[in-house]
């Protein structure tokens, strides 16, 4: 449909280490969940309230997967930019289930390490982190925290992947 947009931007903390799976054809996928939190003061009681949302992230971008496998771990704060996708699958009892995920694939996929192993730095197109001791090409300074964002088109078609939990 012309005139539509499917873009998600999140900053949150990983709830667990990323899972990376390799398929028989050599393609890879990375899966992880990030938590975003909102806090406020209840007007009636004056009590501090907080709500946390969990977001399932699926990464099909080979360069990003390389960075994730080397530098991203439980507790790290990351910025991700992708698109929402809902897919239908069947559980072990044959019941239809649905999962809505933030998918990072193609040119528009971005990952920026805000804190943790990445130290507020992002990666280049080859998965090289902009960190002391690593040889990463200079970036454009885009993104947050002075880091660089990364994006790249995928050349190969990626097979449908089942849900990993």
Instruction: Tell me the per-residue pLDDT of 76-99, one tens digit each, with 9 for 90 and over.
Output: 999 999 999 999 999 999 999 999
Instruction: Tell me the per-residue pLDDT of 104-153, one tens digit each, with 9 for 90 and over.
Output: 998 789 999 998 754 444 444 344 444 433 333 223 333 333 333 443 33
Those residues with Cβ within 8 angstroms of residue 148's Cβ, 6 or more apart along the chain or in another chain: 112, 121, 122, 123, 124, 130, 139, 140, 141, 142
The overall pTM is greater than 0.75: no
Domains, the chain, in order of start with CATH, read 1-39+47-165 (2.40.50.140)
Instruction: Tell me the per-residue pLDDT of 25-38, one tens digit each, with 9 for 90 and over.
Output: 999 999 999 999 99
């Amino acid at each position: 449909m012309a005139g539509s947009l499917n873009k998600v931007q999140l900053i949150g903390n990983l709830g667990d280490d990323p899972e990376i799976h390799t398929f028989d054809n050599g393609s890879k996928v990375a899966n992880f969940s990030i938590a975003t939190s909102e806090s406020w003061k209840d007007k009636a009681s004056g009590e501090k309230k907080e709500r946390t949302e969990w977001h399932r992230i699926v990464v099909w971008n080979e360069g990003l997967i390389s960075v994730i496998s080397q530098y991203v771990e439980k507790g790290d704060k990351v910025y991700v930019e992708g698109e929402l996708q809902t897919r239908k699958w069947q559980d072990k009892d044959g019941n239809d289930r649905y999962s809505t995920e933030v998918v990072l694939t193609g040119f528009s996929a971005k990952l920026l390490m805000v804190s943790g192993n990445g130290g507020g730095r992002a990666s280049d197109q080859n998965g090289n982190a902009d960190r002391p001791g690593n040889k990463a090409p200079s970036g454009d300074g885009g993104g947050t925290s002075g880091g660089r964002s990364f994006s790249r088109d995928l050349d190969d078609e990626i097979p449908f992947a089942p849900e990993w939990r």
